[in-house]
Amino acid sequence: MVKTLPHNRIVQDARKFAADVLRPRASEFDKKESLPKSIIEEMSKRKYLLASLPEEAGGLGLKPVHYGQLTEEIGKACCSTRGLITVQSSLIGEILYKWGTREQKERWLLPISKGEMLGAFALSEPEIGTDAKGVRTTYRTDGDDYVINGRKKWISFGGIADYFIVIAAKDTEISALIVGRKRPGVSVYPIKGMLANRAAHLAEIEFRDVRIPARHIIGKQGGGFSFIASSALDHGRYSIAWAGVAIAAEALDCMATYAKKRKQFGRKIGEYQLIQRMISNAVADTHAARALCINAGELRSINAANAVSETTIAKYFTSKIAMKIASDAVQVHGGAGCSNEHPVERLFREAKLLEIIEGTSPVSYT
């Protein structure tokens, strides 16, 4: 079985899966704005959805660096498929594994590993993004139940999720609550026409007097930001940091390959010094970005005090580098780079998104 393989072998298998299955269809997923059920089922079968969790929790038990490398391999081929791993493993999986009760793990976590359920992390709102403490979705107690009201927006895989981990406020306290999609009062509105992440089934979720039992709270009441949301965002940033490496590496490969084929003025454009400089700078920047991610991963594996800050630095740097290299790749392709017949057009759009999600870059920098 896949879970018994050495970690480096798992990464190698992910590379082959990405090359054989995902890369040839990534443009199709983007155009149709949908990730096929067959792909999700295969990802689940391979235990990729909870790759960072221990085997007993339905994962592969990957250490942070190997988890990052798997993220890179999948992300190079298809950003939306990589996003599925980020949401299920880094957000939903890590939260429930660390903070969930035994009942919550059995009901909501293990089904992900079996391909029976998907979760979505509902934090962002129409007016609230990076300022996670300012959530306007509310909850109140009513006997033994919680009653939730509000709206969440830009929720990755919210369009097909079976349940949501909702960050909501009661006066000044913030809590994390599990809400099933089929609960009365839950409405899901798919979001189309996005710049990027088009196959990630983004959605806006509305909660109107949604009633859930008290046992659906994760951790302690009032611990939704300090513990749950902050932890989720940290895990998410680590995965997104590697996503930046993935886009940078893929854009570099596309740029170098095209420069070897395309001719202008009787010479291959890769023979011109300016193009060579762009490619060589991209090589150095990609290696630097990967090194920052490896460093963050190693620190995370030993729970180092500076692991969170180094993860934030890595996410900031890789997102900026991904944008720069993707932009250069479009430039090298010229007019062809502006067409969706070439992957650099999609990579350019996906790179921009990384500067916004999991903490927008200007805020991360300050």
Active-site residue set: 358
Locus of tokens 């006997």: 143
What gap in Å lies between CA 73 and CA 42, rounded to an integer? 16
* Listed residue (9, 105, 10, 108) closest to 51, CA to CA: 10
- Identity of residue 85: I
Instruction: Please give the structure tokens belonging to residue 253.
Output: 């490969």
Cβ–Cβ under 8 Å, residues 107 and 162: no
> For the purposes of burial, counting CB atoms within 10 Å of the CB of 142, is it exposed (0-12), middle (13-18) or buried (19 or more)?
exposed
What gap in Å lies between CA 264 and CA 257, rounded to an integer? 15
* Listed residue (353, 346, 252) closest to 27, CA to CA: 346
Backbone angles phi and psi of 203, in degrees to 5 = -155, 160
* Listed residue (153, 149, 126, 160) closest to 212, CA to CA: 149
Secondary structure (3-state) at 147: strand
